[in-house]
Amino acid sequence: MSAATYDVLGIGNAIVDILAKTDDAFLATHGMTKGAMALIDEAQAAAIYQAMGPATEISGGSAANTIAGIANFGARAAFVGKVRDDQLGGVFSHDIRASHVAFETRPAFAGPATARCYVLVTPDGERTMNTYLGAAQDLSPADIDPAQIADAAIVYLEGYLWDPQDAKEAFLKAAGIAHAHGRRVALTLSDAFCVGRYRDEFLHLIRSNTVDIVFANAAELAALYHNDDFDAALTQLRADATLAVVTRSEKGCVVATKDSVTPVPAFPVKQVLDTTGAGDLFAAGFLFGTVRGFDHAQCGRLGALAAAEVIQQIGARPQASLKALAQAADLPV
């Protein structure tokens, strides 16, 4: 197996987050499930934007946030995702490249606008997301460059991408190329409602070894196995997955293989401002540690550090140097 040009290449929805503070009453008025992500159409997107308070635009997208975090740690990173050649598409393209991430996917010159996610943050820091996928859902197998995929040590895929059929085929094409070149494939389950839509297909991806590393939180794990007993569901996941990482908010995470379970504590947090991107940045730290060859506990600690940092700021991409924070915490980088 040849040396990789990229440590991690992410494939996901290229989205610009539009964040605004709100309260529980606003969520109830608009029929939103607090803490969840809902897919909306263009008309709903316009209505939410008109009703919400003052907003801030920040490039986002689950896998894109993870990849930006990996680059922030000092790793070599790339991203594949579709935008339109419009204003928000330009914002996304600029921001991902400014994060020192290679981004070569050609924009669409027709069709839906660049995707956007309206992130409504309540006073407790919880985020409720309403996503218009727009151009992001037009990612297709033609956007997958075999040479670039083969040149990445780990290919990281987001579960949200499983909604559109063309994107699903792009996802499978990338996984096949990665494995053909001896690379690893990681998947984040993204959201409990996403798991609900594609439970059987996600289980097949895990059991068929189409993915080698699985990221989930406790709610996604419960949805995957229709089992609210964490330990019982984890036992089921261990039987299916090669390597799985399950985050548990303030309880930290567990790193599980068929032979072991490694609990890792969370990092202390002074004040939660916005939980957007907590899981994305956890994955960044864990994958960074993985490509560096660190043990599971060290990888988990790097993930916990990155997640703790991002929830103490507004927005899902780190504003401080994660590498410097890790060094200050005596973690390997």
Write the secondary structure of 129-198 as one string of H (helix), E (strand) and C (coil).
EEEECHHHHHCCHHHCCHHHHHCEEEEEEEHHHHCCHHHHHHHHHHHHHHHHCCCEEEEECCCHHHHHHH
> Residue 199 corresponds to which tokens in the numbers above?
């439970």
> Residue 28 corresponds to which tokens in the numbers above?
């109830």
Please indicate, yes or no, if residue 203 is contained in any of the structural domains.
yes
- Whether 107 and 113 have beta carbons less than 8 Å apart is answered as no
User: Tell me, what's the pLDDT at 1?
Assistant: 62
pLDDT digits (tens, 9 = 90+) for 20-38: 999 999 999 999 999 888 9
> Residue 211 corresponds to which tokens in the numbers above?
């993915």
Give the containing element (helix H, strand E) for 308. helix 296-310
Please indicate, yes or no, if residue 53 is contained in any of the structural domains.
no
Output Rg (C-alpha) for the chain, integer angstroms.
18
Query: DSSP letter at 107?
Result: P
Cα–Cα distance for residue pair 173/208, rounded to 1 Å: 15
If one counts the domains in the chain, the total is: 1
Please indicate, yes or no, if residue 115 is contained in any of the structural domains.
no
Starting at the earlier edge strand, list the strands of the sheet with 56-60. Answer: 37-39, 127-132, 115-121, 15-21, 56-60
Q: What is the CATH number of the domain that holds 94?
A: 3.40.1190.20
**316 pLDDT tier (thresholds 50, 70, 90):** confident
- Which of 195, 161, 225 shows the shortest CA–CA distance to 11? 161
CB atoms within 10 A of CB 74: 17
Which pTM does this prediction carry? 0.91
Full residue range of the structural domain in which residue 229 is found: 6-13+62-109+134-326
Please indicate, yes or no, if residue 192 is contained in any of the structural domains.
yes
Please indicate, yes or no, if residue 123 is contained in any of the structural domains.
no
> Residue 42 corresponds to which tokens in the numbers above?
């263009």
Please indicate, yes or no, if residue 272 is contained in any of the structural domains.
yes
Q: Average pLDDT in the 296-305 region?
A: 98
Please indicate, yes or no, if residue 220 is contained in any of the structural domains.
yes
Flag whether pLDDT at 163 surpasses 90: no
